[in-house]
Amino acid sequence: MVYRNGWKEFFITAISFGIPMSLFFIIQYGITLGLAGGVLAGVLFGGAMTLVTRGTEKKFAKMRAEIAADRRVICDGGATWQGLGGWMFLTAAGLEFYPHKFNHGKQNFAIPTEELAGVTVKRNIVVVSLRNGSEVPVVVSHAGEWREQIRKAMDTREDGNYDFE
């Protein structure tokens, strides 16, 4: 299952950018031009972010195919870990995060399923607890669905040595 951003995320982005821009434009140009400028700015910004997200989804679709040849992919989607944007996969072997090429720190991480101790959700953040007591917070869309998939993977752990890159 691929967790993609859709219309909901577009509108959240457009509104959260459009409202402050409307206020700014109202102060600058008056109510009529201000509202029109804010709506336009929100739609343009939301559209630009949607295009970037679609491009990212296509790029990581190739990686999904490569990973699926080696291990079963349960779900995947855009994610942010420690300020790095990228893509996270939940496979039968565990959680895997791959950052975008444009990030200054290009750290992948992989957490084998055997190391997972629990998972909670705080708003749009999935907090994965590890057996060593540490926690790994990751920002994702559809956090509740990620939590359920991770819990299912923990309940049906598969043995095997997988080479995470």
Q: Which of 78, 160, 146, 76 is nearest to 114 (CA)?
A: 160
Q: What is the pLDDT of residue 10?
A: 84
Name the residue ranges covered by the structural domains of the chain: 2-53, 72-155
- The answer to whether the predicted template modeling score (pTM) of the entire model surpasses 0.75 is no
42 or 6, greater pLDDT: 42
- Which residues fall within 8 angstroms of residue 59, CB to CB, at 6 or more apart? none
Please state the rounded mean pLDDT for residues 67-74. Answer: 92
Mean residue pLDDT across the chain: 87
Greatest Cα pair distance in the chain: 65
Determine the pLDDT at residue 61: 85
The pLDDT assigned to 57 comes to 79
* pLDDT > 50? residue 79: yes
Top CATH class of 72-155 equals: mainly beta
Cα torsion 46, 51, 3, 63: sign: negative
The better pLDDT of the pair 128, 108 is held by 128
DSSP string for 79-148:
EEETTEEEEEEEETTEEEEEE-TTSSS---EEEEGGGEEEEEEETTEEEEEETTS-EEEEEESSHHHHHH
Tell whether the model's pLDDT for residue 3 goes beyond 60: no
DSSP state of 23: H
Please give the Cα distance from 115 to 68 (Å, whole number): 21
Distance CA(137)–CA(123), nearest Å, equals 11
